[in-house]
Amino acid sequence: MPEPVHSNDSMVCDLSESRKPAEPCSMVIFGASGDLTARKLIPALYQNFKDKQMPPTFRVVGFARREKTDDSWRAELRVALDQFSRTKPVEDAVWREFARNIFYCQGDITDGADYKKLEELLTSFGQAPLRENALFYLATMPSQFGEVIENIHRADLLHRDGSGWQRIVVEKPFGHDLASAHALNNELTRFAHEQQVFRIDHYLGKETVQNILMFRFSNSIFERLWNRDSVDHVQITVSEKLGVGQRGGYYEEAGALRDMVQNHMLQVLALVTMEPPVSLEAESIRDEKVKLLKSIHPLTPDDVARQVVRGQYFAGVVDGVACPGYRQEPKVKSDSNVETYVALKLFIDNWRWSGVPFYLRTGKYLPQSASEVRVQFRRTPHVLFAAQCGERLDQNAIALRLQPNEGIYLRFNGKVPGTSLAVRPVRMHFSYNSEFGAYTPEAYERLLLEAMVGDATLFIRRDEVETAWQIVDSIRAGWDGKALSNREFYSAGTWGPVAAEDLLAQGGHVWHEPQPAT
């Protein structure tokens, strides 16, 4: 591994020094016997504890129907931690100390009486903050959110106002369209303020996604270029090398548009294009994201026909392995029109981005798994080198690689060494791993800690959710009743359907594949 570069440590500005520490609290996980707890939540909490980031006093309570004791649940979690912890091996002494804070409460989330058992358990911890400061993590079906929240409230554990603090953490999907998202948000806020609701999109917890704002607003040389005067177009790619696998039933309901575009991709678009917030306070940042989403030009059915492409994979080969088509996957209809790929061209109706096309694409069974934002700059004037080279003179670009191989690439033209006058594109590469010599933390480590502290910056506000659904609903309305065309099918292991190439060709553009991981 390359040695970390520390060119001037005296210039490090740690903004977290002024952040308030996490207070003593209890975290209650509803649906605690599910995969999310074992694969993500407990490993994240263990790592935070190991890194001395947890509150000085805390409790973790699992609430689920299965009959378990505290010790049997701790034993299950230890087995899972050995498999899913990002730091291995798990340190026995650290685990033993951490596990003393883990408890189990058997209960049915539909039975109000069982919440009394939960209230008694929290009270038995003996310290007022461990009962009054509570983070309720709803790792359940969204259809159960309202019932769980009402029962927590009736057990005297959730209040809009009063002593201590209570917060509710929920996972996506936040509805399946605007109407259902609006209804779900009403359920979430029946017994709590919007400020108490923390909607998790794990994508926002990724270190490189957080770095987008730092890159933009702490570097004057790049921010001056971040507008319609310098930028030709922007491409955002979130590609997945795997197919839907055993998630066919879910995908038949969701599709790529709901699964990826409505949340992850629109969130990244907002961070890349939003105006500078007036401060680093959570609401200032979230205000600007909402303003940006509301500035996206509305799509009519005719716009959808011209600016949105859906696709579906058929049988192909990925890394030398034969892969089935989507319609041959388990729990998928044999004549399904559900999209496993979507590409769209959006415009933003504001001063900064007027006329600049933004191309977004995501799909299953593509050649590599990668997330990348590529900002393509305008061509140089048609004189000197551009006059001689024409289209062979590469356009400058900045690529923000979000995963894997996290980093930032600056692409520009340089002279090839030698006696000839030859020009070719070269890359200047910043790598997180090479520069900082550290493994980037898992998203849930940061997100859980922020929820305990009460910082909502990395969580999604109600109006963000509903604005994103307005965009997605307009696209689905344009698709309504239309079957996939032949140009919208693609072979597994390729970069998507021919129709997606046509989409960019309209503006004289081509897709740029993310740099392969090295």
Using DSSP, state whether 342 is helix, strand or coil. Answer: strand
* One-letter-per-residue 3-state SS of 137-204: EECCCHHHHHHHHHHHHHCCCCCCCCCCCEEEEEECCCCCCHHHHHHHHHHHCCCCCHHHEEEECHHH
The token pair that represents 268 in the structure block: 């990244």
Phi, psi angle pair for 482, to nearest 5°: -105, 130
The token pair that represents 184 in the structure block: 């779900």
* One-letter-per-residue 3-state SS of 439-495: CCCCHHHHHHHHHHHCCCCCCECHHHHHHHHHHHHHHHHHHCCCCCCHHHEEECCCC
The token pair that represents 291 in the structure block: 């303003």
Whether omega before 173 lies within 30 degrees of 0, making that bond cis, reads yes
Distance of CA 249 to the CA centre of its chain: 22
Reply yes or no on whether 153 is catalytic.
Answer: no
Considering just the CA atoms, what is the radius of gyration of the chain in Å? Answer: 25
DSSP-derived secondary structure letter, 322: E
DSSP-derived secondary structure letter, 88: S
b (16+ CB within 10 A) / e for 434-449 = eeeeeebbbbbbbbbb
Beta bridge partners of 108: none
Using DSSP, state whether 338 is helix, strand or coil. Answer: coil
Contact 52, 83 (CB under 8 A): no
Q: How far apart are CA 61 and CA 122, in angstroms?
A: 9
Contact 292, 274 (CB under 8 A): yes
Q: How far apart are CA 32 and CA 42, in angstroms?
A: 10
Q: How far apart are CA 141 and CA 171, in angstroms?
A: 9
Which residue carries 């415009």 as its tokens?
A: 347
Catalytic residue among 176, 202, 264, 509: 264
The token pair that represents 483 in the structure block: 């079957």
The token pair that represents 501 in the structure block: 């190439």
Q: How far apart are CA 166 and CA 137, in angstroms?
A: 11
b (16+ CB within 10 A) / e for 194-203 = eebbbbbbbb
- Strands 25-30 and 341-346, how do they pair? unpaired
DSSP-derived secondary structure letter, 460: B
Question: CA distances (Å), 400 to each of 49, 130, 212, 347, 369, in order?
Answer: 31, 41, 8, 20, 15
Catalytic positions are: 264
